[in-house]
Structures are given as C-alpha cells and as structure tokens.
C-alpha cells in the first residue's frame, strides 16, 4: 500500500495540513505531490481532484477528496486513528466535524501563514466568539477525555489533526489560551508530525500575496503602531 497525497503550499494551506497529518498518522507510506496554489480556481487541478482543490488522496484507482473524507477513509483502513473508547470517539468526531464545518470568522480573519507573527487586535466579535469556543472545546476535551496523553482525548488522534492548523493560527496571531487549553496548544505544536509540517513550511520560498497577513491586514497593523 502506497498512497499518493496531493497538497498545496505548507505555509498557507490549512486543509492540506489536515490531509497530510491524517495520512502521516495512518502510518502508511505515501507519496507527496505538491501543487502550487495560485489563490484562485485552477481547472487544471481537476486532473487529480474533482473539485480542483487540495488535499486529495489516491489509493490506486480510488480518489478521495476533502480532508474529512480522507480522514475517515484512512480510519477505516488503519487502527487507532480515532479514540478506542466509544464516548471519546463520538466526542472526537463531533469536535472534528465542528471544526471542519464552522469557525468562519477564524478562517477569514486569521489566514494561515506559519512563518508570520502578527497581532491583529482588536478582534471582531465573531472572531472573539470563535476563539472562545475553541478554548472551550480544548478545555472540556482535556477535562473529560485526556487520560493517557497530552492531547484532546489523550493520545494524538484525528481530532488533534483537525485542530493543528488552529494551533498554527494561534501561534501566528499571538492567541494565548490559559490553563489546560494553553497546555494543549503547546503540546500540539510540539508533536513530531506537526513540527515536521512546520519545518517544511518554514523552508518554502513561495509567497502568495493573497494569503500574506501583512498585506491582508495592512491598515489594521498600521493603525496599531
């Protein structure tokens, strides 16, 4: 078994990060195919994904696109990707799906750019609510299910995969949760797979101006000086 995984720029592509971490967590060998993202729809990408988006996983003739679909496809074939306990597994799936489908303000107001360090306060009410909800998820997950490890449900699972890009965003934009949420943030950023992705991102030379925080938030940053 050797998967092929199509991803975008590691510095910018949060969905690629989830797909890559899920594949890495599976323990299966895979070939990484990096696609240069242009910030706009590229119909040429339909050669490997029906949506022309990344990530996309190929398993022989089988194509799987969308990070959550990739995660579930891999979890059906490889053990221990979700928690073993049914209650913890239901919780982990729920919080992963909540991240996958929600938090629009976080995505819009804190574009992922791993190499950058900026502070875009004051936050909008919607962004502050998203950050508060994430802290709530992290704190409650640690309180209820964290026996046996430093991650959301103890060992590193797909739930943590889905929050890894959030950890990068918090690092970039100086979001510093307290208590158990802060401890979890440090543990997640320190996980070997997450650090591997970060190292690759920092080595990239490409610059996509449409995703650069210092350009996206130029006026806000200038006003804060």
Residue 217 confidence (pLDDT): 86
Question: What is the C-alpha R_g of the chain?
Answer: 17
Summarize pLDDT for 35-77 with one digit per residue, the tens. 987 666 788 889 999 998 999 999 999 999 999 999 999 999 9
Query: How far is residue 126's CA from residue 106's CA, in Å, rounded to a whole number?
Result: 8
What pTM was estimated for this model as a whole?
A: 0.95
The percent of residues above 70 in pLDDT, for the chain, comes to 98
Query: How far is residue 82's CA from residue 157's CA, in Å, rounded to a whole number?
Result: 5
Upper half-sphere CA count for residue 48 (Cβ side, 13 Å): 20
Query: How far is residue 69's CA from residue 52's CA, in Å, rounded to a whole number?
Result: 15
Residue 216 confidence (pLDDT): 87
| Structural domains of the chain ordered from first start | 3-77 (3.40.30.10), 86-203 (1.20.1050)
User: Strand 30-34 to strand 56-59: parallel, antiparallel, or no bridges (unpaired)?
Assistant: unpaired
Q: How many CB atoms sit inside 10 A of residue 18's CB?
A: 26
Nearest to 107 by CA among 166, 52, 61: 166
Q: Does the pLDDT of residue 22 top 80, yes or no?
A: yes
Residue 225 banded pLDDT, cuts 50, 70, 90 = low
Give pairs for 102-110: CB < 8 Å, separation 24+: 102/130, 103/130, 103/133, 103/134, 103/166, 104/130, 105/129, 105/130, 106/130, 106/131, 106/134, 106/166, 106/169, 107/14, 110/169, 110/172, 110/173
Question: Which two three-digit tokens encode residue 8?
Answer: 């975008």
Q: Answer whether 208's CB lies under 8 Å from 145's CB.
A: no
Upper half-sphere CA count for residue 78 (Cβ side, 13 Å): 19
């Amino acid at each position: 078994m050797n998967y092929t995984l199509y991803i975008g720029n590691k510095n910018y592509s949060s969905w690629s990060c989830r797909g890559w971490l899920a594949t890495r967590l599976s323990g299966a060998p895979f070939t990484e195919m990096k696609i240069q993202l242009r910030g706009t729809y590229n119909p040429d990408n339909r050669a490997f994904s029906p949506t022309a988006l990344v990530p996309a996983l190929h398993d022989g003739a089988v194509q799987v696109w969308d990070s959550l679909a990739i995660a579930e496809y891999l979890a059906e074939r490889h053990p221990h990707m979700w928690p073993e306990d049914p209650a913890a597994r239901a919780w982990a799936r729920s919080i992963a799906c909540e991240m996958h489908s929600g938090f629009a303000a976080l995505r819009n107001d804190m574009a992922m750019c791993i190499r950058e360090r900026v502070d875009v306060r004051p936050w909008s009410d919607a962004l502050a609510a998203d950050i508060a909800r994430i802290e709530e998820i992290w704190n409650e997950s640690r309180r209820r299910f964290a026996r046996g490890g430093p991650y959301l449900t103890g060992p590193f699972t797909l739930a943590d995969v889905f929050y890894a890009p959030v950890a990068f965003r918090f690092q970039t934009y100086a979001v510093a949760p307290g208590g158990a949420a802060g401890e979890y943030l440090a543990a997640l950023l320190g996980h070997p797979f997450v650090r591997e992705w970060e190292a690759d991102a920092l080595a990239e030379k490409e610059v996509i101006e449409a995703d650069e925080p210092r350009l996206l938030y130029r006026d806000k940053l200038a006003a804060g000086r």
